[in-house]
Chain A
């Protein structure tokens, strides 16, 4: 086989539909479009079996077929002579294909119709490149991750990531590095709240609205499915109007909408990808990217994404482990904007664990409990200095015993305060210590 199957990876991304020719025992040929062709390894490919059709009937009678796939950028096509071997309704190939189908089904709202019955496995006997098809010969990105330049780029990014001093800097800097060195324009970084089975936006890049605190439940949309399955997932060639948030928004109650922080998203993305961030067997979060221009996230992008999210995961774990050394906030001391009426009405809803400042929803769950505790303590005792150790020991906060993610929760809280209630600030005073500044008079109308 002169052309390696992995060289054709870009053709398997589903941007241009692939086709298959089969033949019945009686000699009637059949041509059909395929929703997906997957490369299993260098010798085998798989197609999805969703409906029993003539293609499948023919394959059961006569296993020889020809697949035709096309490169999404230069439109060069390739013919794969294949032999159908078997159908698998379990195992790694089936699982991987099934997840991809679930993602598409979630976007199309056709879950049960697109359910994968089996992965049809074929041996690839021969690959041929179609001749003289196009006058368009753009320089193609290296499909496999093979160039020295790419490795050098990776080294530069890893060097820069290793230079960060704290968790907040890592979360913010990572996306700036991806933009600077890889040209990716729109990104969201969400961290997992295992207890609540949801992801919370901690940083974003490229959007007019930051969306810090925006949540995605596990299993919802591309990001939620990525969290659920712990795999890189992507959707390409999206129809106009799709957004990350589309699936999330559907079915949301009115009450939920009043406390919902909108997830940042492009109005008309061409493609989206979500990558799990995990290290040492622990799921940390998801990095989600989207683009208005790219038709797909090819193998090179995927290798960069997987490697960089691995580095981020190790960085986050390491910086959380030395959490007592973490700063709660940056040292910048921008002047506070004091409003005419400096009354700060604080309302905490214990059952739902929501906190409102001047009737504006601020944050929920543990960060809400932390802020409530800080404000109550400040109000009753006048004390404004706190430590992470104190928060960990405070029973009313009910922090998880094994992994409390206190530092990331404080970063989230500080960012939300910056965005929504700038009269309350958390300022670092040393390792694991901070002070709260409140400009205005605290009022606890319904809760006192």
Chain B
């Protein structure tokens, strides 16, 4: 998998989880609500729903370390992006447009693994916070021999 394949997978629809940690090195997890990677893969914007990410946001304020894992549900194709948060801001109309595209693709993909249409469409996926991240590493996470390798080295 290279960066272009990664972008293709994101367009097809991916589940995404965000991990941070507090000052005592205890991790926290929440679901993301959209992702947008820059063309040079050095920066990304991820979208969160504040109400479900209070501890994630507190951790970001504390130290800014972040990891985002994305996975395409029907195939398990997955990657993890690690980096440092540079900004936390309210979403713009452009962000909401990006997040809507992500949500539509995600809702379509999870129906392929047995989730009913009613359940998929019932998910509340409209974000209110945008997180700007400087990307440090991207790792392949698809189960198999390349899992854990840095994307640059493949």
Contacts and interface: CB of A to CB of B under 8 A. Distances in A.
Contacts of A131: 51-52
Given A16-B115, A33-B141, A131-B51, A22 B31 contact: no
Interface in A31-55: 31-33, 35, 50-51, 53-54
Contacts of A79: 29
B114 A72 contact: yes
Nearest to B22: A23
A27 B123 contact: no
B37 to A, nearest CB: 16
B65 A27 contact: yes
Contacts of B65: 27-29
B148 to A, nearest CB: 5
A33 B78 contact: yes
A21 B28 contact: yes
Contacts of A239: 74
Contacts of B144: 113
Interface stretch (B12-20, B91-99, B127-135): B12-20
A72 B29 contact: no
A300 B143 CA distance: 31
A65 B27 contact: yes
Interface string A1-34: 0000000000000011101111101011111110
Contacts of A134: 119, 122-124
Contacts of B71: 17, 33
Interface in B44-92: 51-52, 63, 65-69, 71, 73-74, 76, 78, 80, 82
Interface residues of B, number: 46
B80 A30 contact: yes
Nearest to A114: B143
Interface in B15-40: 15, 17-21, 25-31
B141 A27 contact: no
A68 B29 contact: yes
B147 interface: yes
Interface string B89-119: 0000000000000000000001001111011
A15 B114 contact: yes
> What are the 7 tightest A-B residue pairs by CB atom distance, in nearest-first order?
A136-B122, A295-B114, A21-B19, A31-B19, A21-B29, A31-B69, A21-B27
Given A28-B65, A136-B121, 11 more contacts: A16-B73, A17-B15, A17-B76, A23-B25, A23-B27, A30-B67, A31-B19, A35-B143, A68-B31, A237-B114, A295-B114
30 contacts: A15-B115, A16-B115, A17-B15, A20-B29, A21-B17, A21-B29, A27-B21, A27-B25, A28-B65, A28-B67, A29-B82, A31-B17, A31-B29, A31-B80, A33-B15, A33-B17, A33-B141, A54-B148, A64-B27, A74-B119, A130-B52, A131-B52, A132-B51, A132-B52, A133-B52, A136-B119, A136-B121, A136-B122, A236-B114, A239-B74
Interface of B: 15, 17-21, 25-31, 51-52, 63, 65-69, 71, 73-74, 76, 78, 80, 82, 110, 113-116, 118-124, 139, 141, 143-144, 147-148
